A and B are shown apart, each in its own frame.
Chain A
Amino acid sequence: MSNIPDDLHYTKSHEWVRPIAGGGVEIGITEHAQSALGDLVFVEVPDVGRNLRAGDACAVVESVKAASDVYSPVTGTVIANNAALSAKPELLNQDPYGEGWLFRLQTSADLPPLMNAAAYASFLQDEAK
């Protein structure tokens, strides 16, 4: 079973969301997602200042195998992106919940309903069937 930290929120498209101080959120992709993609070789993150709506395709993670879109789980404005991934996309494989974070958003609205760790774990189990 893959690593699913208890303190994060999850989407069905395998993004995670971490509330941060000041009302923002940090967003990345899950352990399961990076493992399914394989060795990542290219990551494109959204520019700072970009306004995103929940569900917008806003980042691209590309492995030796295939390219995959990342969708913003929430509505907000990009306040930071992880520039280190440009030179070291493997950070996303090595530490998907830490150094492999993708971008941070300032959100105006409350978080939409997302899965907690237990719900995401059972979602992964259903998906594997």
Chain B
Amino acid sequence: MGLKTPLYDLHVAQGAKIVDFGGWDMPLHYGSQLEEHHAVRRDAGMFDVSHMAVLDLTGGRCREFLRMLLANDVARLEEFGKALYTCMLKPDGCVIDDLIVYLVADTWYRLVVNAGTRDKDLVWIQARAAEFGVTVLERKDLAMIAVQGPNARLKVAAMLAPAQQAAALELKPFTAAAFGSWFVARTGYTGEDGFEIMMPAADAATAWQRLLERAVQPAGLGARDTLRLEAGLNLYGNDMDEQHHPLESGLAWTVAFEPEERDFIGRAALQRARELDCDRLVGLLLEERGVLRSHQRVLAAGVAREGMVTSGTFSPTLNRSIALARVPSTTGAAVQVEIRGKLHAARVVKPPFVRRGKAMIEI
């Protein structure tokens, strides 16, 4: 028996297949993972993401603390409600977790971290927060529902008080605002437009029901994985981990090397890594039939060392298999992937594979 979110009983009532995910009993799908995937690409789907940990950090030196703790620079958050995607690194530059940080108020930041890394994240953050006088409060009182898809924002706005609807629809990408006790963010993990809503746990079941009434399709972790992979978004534990740094995980864009005087944890190691010819994370499109899976070997002509698939799946939108893979920097455009002992041709492409419902690569 794992941990249960406030929506667990509803998932079971809706016929969800429940699986363990980072210690939580979560819905894998509600019948058809493919239908849930297509609903998000074409209309609107909703995910229970209440298993993710919400951490509120407060204190006069909170900004200073996070500029030290995180590889991206919270000084870039210039307005209340703005969000930033970042890695939290060890001194050796490898990734403890990836997270989103919101500037809520002057001395108040909100971090949303992965469920599977919650324990070690808390230990890591708390061990360093005290010195800065920063208080860490885990918001176990909140549930979180992600509503994603081309029609998601309209369907969410229709649930808000009439006076709040326009403001919610005006939220810019990667921005959040409070609407009563709800914290609504225009963020997501699918490559579609949409909202992620943090709300009091007591509101979650009613909100879920009201979204159901608006024909928002419940979607499980299975569809969440195929959607994020099509969108070229990394999964912690697969595509980055404590053995790899952001530069070899396709996340160089999340590391703020400027300004030079900001000394964040992992900076020195990353600056050294930047001078080296490190591996890179690329997209793969399988040219043949079959399905790419994590840990398959990637071979390239003229490249002695082999690469490895870090995440692979069948792409329901492209009707082909796609993957993220970590390969030596000298790898060219054509590779071979070993699937059950046989080599299959694959093409190196630049993620995302799909965004806003459209293929972003040539098939």
Instruction: Tell me the bound Cα distance from A16 to B222 in angstroms.
Output: 28
Please tell me if the beta carbons of A39 and B291 are within 8 angstroms of each other in the complex. Answer: no
Enumerate chain B residues within 8 angstroms of A65, measured Cβ to Cβ: 28, 33, 222
Q: Is A108 an interface residue (CB 8 A)?
A: no
Chain B nearest CB from A105 CB (Å) reads 22
Instruction: Tell me the bound Cα distance from A60 to B293 in angstroms.
Output: 14
Instruction: Tell me the bound Cα distance from A66 to B29 in angstroms.
Output: 14
Please tell me if the beta carbons of A41 and B340 are within 8 angstroms of each other in the complex. Answer: no
Which B residues from 235 to 285 make CB contacts under 8 A with A? none
**B121-163 CB contact bits vs A (8 Å, 1 = yes)?**
0000000000000000000000000000000000000000000
Q: Is A42 an interface residue (CB 8 A)?
A: yes
Please tell me if the beta carbons of B291 and A42 are within 8 angstroms of each other in the complex. Answer: yes
Q: Is A3 an interface residue (CB 8 A)?
A: no
**Pick from B28, B29, B314, B340: contact of A60, CB under 8 Å:** B340
Which B residues from 1 to 59 make CB contacts under 8 A with A? 17, 28-29, 32-34
Q: Is B332 an interface residue (CB 8 A)?
A: no
Enumerate chain A residues within 8 angstroms of B291, measured Cβ to Cβ: 41-42, 62, 67
**Pick from B17, B29, B222, B290: contact of A42, CB under 8 Å:** B290
Which residue in chain A gives the minimum CB-CB distance to B315? A41
Which B residues from 326 to 355 make CB contacts under 8 A with A? 340
Enumerate chain B residues within 8 angstroms of A41, measured Cβ to Cβ: 34, 291, 314, 316
Q: Is B226 an interface residue (CB 8 A)?
A: yes
Instruction: Tell me the bound Cα distance from A44 to B344 in angstroms.
Output: 14
Enumerate chain A residues within 8 angstroms of B32, measured Cβ to Cβ: 38-39
Please tell me if the beta carbons of A64 and B340 are within 8 angstroms of each other in the complex. Answer: no
Of the candidates B28, B289, B313, B321, the one having the most CB atoms from chain A within 10 angstroms of its own CB is B289
Q: Is A86 an interface residue (CB 8 A)?
A: yes
Which residue in chain B gives the minimum CB-CB distance to A90? B34
Chain A nearest CB from B298 CB (Å) reads 18
Please tell me if the beta carbons of B340 and A67 are within 8 angstroms of each other in the complex. Answer: yes
Please tell me if the beta carbons of A64 and B226 are within 8 angstroms of each other in the complex. Answer: yes
Instruction: Tell me the bound Cα distance from A44 to B226 in angstroms.
Output: 22
Of the candidates A38, A41, A60, A86, the one having the most CB atoms from chain B within 10 angstroms of its own CB is A41
Enumerate chain B residues within 8 angstroms of A67, measured Cβ to Cβ: 291, 293, 340
Chain B at the A interface: SS class: mixed
Which A residues from 32 to 64 make CB contacts under 8 A with B? 38-39, 41-42, 44, 60, 62, 64
Instruction: Tell me the bound Cα distance from A66 to B293 in angstroms.
Output: 8
Chain A nearest CB from B359 CB (Å) reads 17
| A64-B222, A64-B314 given; A38·B290 CB < 8 A | no
Please tell me if the beta carbons of B290 and A64 are within 8 angstroms of each other in the complex. Answer: no
Please tell me if the beta carbons of A64 and B293 are within 8 angstroms of each other in the complex. Answer: no
Which residue in chain B gives the minimum CB-CB distance to A65? B222
**Pick from A42, A44, A64: contact of B33, CB under 8 Å:** A64
Instruction: Tell me the bound Cα distance from A31 to B17 in angstroms.
Output: 16
Chain A nearest CB from B270 CB (Å) reads 35
Chain B nearest CB from A98 CB (Å) reads 19
Of the candidates B34, B226, B293, the one having the most CB atoms from chain A within 10 angstroms of its own CB is B34
**A83-96 CB contact bits vs B (8 Å, 1 = yes)?**
00010000000000
| A65-B222, A67-B293 given; A38·B340 CB < 8 A | no
Chain A nearest CB from B344 CB (Å) reads 12
**B110-122 CB contact bits vs A (8 Å, 1 = yes)?**
0000000000000
Please tell me if the beta carbons of A39 and B34 are within 8 angstroms of each other in the complex. Answer: yes
Enumerate chain B residues within 8 angstroms of A39, measured Cβ to Cβ: 32-34
**Pick from B17, B289, B313: contact of A64, CB under 8 Å:** B313
Top 10 A-B pairs, shortest CB-CB distance: A41-B314, A39-B34, A62-B291, A64-B33, A42-B291, A39-B33, A64-B314, A39-B32, A38-B33, A42-B290
Residues of B within 8 A of A (CB): 17, 28-29, 32-34, 222, 226, 289-291, 293, 313-314, 316, 321, 340
Q: Enumerate 6 A-B pairs (CB-CB under 8 Å) in ascending A order.
A: A38-B222, A62-B291, A64-B313, A65-B33, A65-B222, A67-B340
